[in-house]
Structure 1
Amino acid sequence: MSQTHFQELIQRTRAGDQAAENELLQKCRAYISLIARAQIEGWMRTKVDASDLVQQTLLEAHQGLARFKGETEAEWLGWLRGILKHNTLDFARQFQGAAKRDVKREFSFDQYGTADSRSTAQKWEMKDSTETPSRILMNREQEILMAEAVSELPEDYQEVIMLRNLQRLSFKQVAERMNRSPGAVQMLWLRALNQLQERLEHPEERK
């Protein structure tokens, strides 16, 4: 959503416009859902449903809107990520201390690579293991658009992107999680990125 439209939604929401608030929260659902899935580690997935985290986060955002003092979309997304992180840690405390350490990692969609002629796969290939998770996908201004496009992909494409690009797992680790060979996972990942790129370049063809 454009910065102008976002600011308009914020102003209308603060004025008590329920429709504006609903639009503001729903536009971020796919974004929060993808990050929630990335933050639930291994065995914790069998105990916590990412959709529960999403619902709780959006509910608390609704209840605490008066506490949001920002004006930009980046500030809004950062505020939502803070609520999600707090909720994820709360869930982790119910189970095991190790999970708390895992979910403290920050997942975002900051720029990875530059906007040149390279393919999505080339831009997203992680060549340096010291790269932080905050430099994985695309420009912050495109976070919501990216998350919406990912959410429209087949489930196995979503999974491989989430594991490889958000959780920063190696192809071997992704293969173990998805019960496939490393080679098969790498091909799946490339197909997922190509389909994602097509959806981003041709939004009119998206459902």
Structure 2
Amino acid sequence: GDRSQADVHHQPMVFARMSSPPVETWIAEARDGAAEPLGQLLQLYRNYLTVLATTQFDARLQRRLNPSDLVQEAMLSAHRDFRQFRGGTERELLGWLRQVLINCLHHAIETHVKARKRDVRCEVSLEQLNNRMDQSAMRLGQVLADAGSSPSARSHQRERSVALADQLAKLRPQYRDVIVLRNLQGLSFEEIAARMDRKPGAVRMLWLRAIEKLKQVYEPTE
């Protein structure tokens, strides 16, 4: 209807930071079966889902699948099954989208990893994926809280994490990678150095520059 017409032109970052975002309006319209608001709504969370998907990829899966391909699959699945979503708030939607992503991830592991190599070490339960994804989502919302900016209220952590994911997507790939590995996956500088084929000291400097850059582009409104 007319009420959403003015909202369509807002940028995703605005949604993430407004105190009473029109996201709930889009959710209501999408649940009523309106295709356009649903498409626009899901696009708001592409970066968020991509960052979370990246945290769940190990070397075996990375050789066979790209996180963005997994997210595309999750977006199509969410679009197809949106009538199963029963919530009305952004936080409820984020929880549901994470679950859709987890289901796609579990299917990908079954298909690409276990099918090729019957190995007990490949066994990953949905519960394990759930726990890891929740932990990554929580850590995402806290990325800059550790770096000296005022911590956002806990109730806004999830919405804040969407805004942070949008800004992470704009960083140089190596900046984004080091923040994901350090802040979201909790790896040591030594572990990251082995993955990135750099010295630990160089990784630490890269991480400090990456955090500084993220702080420049992300200015939360409390």
* TM-score over 0.5 (shorter chain): yes
Letter in 1 for 2:99: G
Matching residue of 1:43? 60
Distance in 1, Cα, partners of 2:40 & 2:143: 31
1:166 CA drift (Å): 1.3
Q: Name 1:181's counterpart in structure 2.
A: 199
What residue number does 1:130 align with? none
Note the C-alpha offset of 1:101.
3.1
1:70 corresponds to 2:93: no
Per-residue CA distance 1:47-95 (angstroms, 9 max, x = gap) = 1111111011000100011000011111101111111111111111121
Q: Residue in 1 aligned with 2:121?
A: 98
Measure how far apart 1:43 and its partner are.
2.5
| Distance in 1 separating the partners of 2:161 and 2:123 | 25
- Secondary structure of the 2:23 match is helix
Letter in 2 for 1:16: G
Deviations 1:114-154 (A, max 9, x none): 969x625x98xxxxxxxxxxx9xx82221211100000000
The residue number in structure 1 matching 2:12 is none
C-alpha contact (below 8 Å) 1:44/1:99 kept by paired residues: no
Q: Which residue of 2 aligns with 1:132?
A: none
> Quick one: structure 1 residues 114 and 54, their matched pair in 2 at CA, closer, same or farther if it must change by over 3 Å?
closer
Whether 2:44 is the aligned partner of 1:27: answer: yes
Q: Which amino acid aligns with 1:42?
A: A
Report deviation, 1:113. Answer: 8.7
| Contact 1:163/1:174 (8 A) holds in 2 | yes
Q: Percent identity?
A: 34
TM-score (norm 1): 0.81
Deviation at 1:31, TM superposition (A): 0.4
Paired with 1:144 and 1:45, the residues of 2 have a C-alpha distance of 24
Choose the corresponding residue for 2:137, options 95, 105, 108. Answer: 108
Contact 2:144 2:215 survives alignment (8 Å): no
RMSD in angstroms over aligned alpha carbons?
Answer: 2.7
SS at match of 1:71: coil
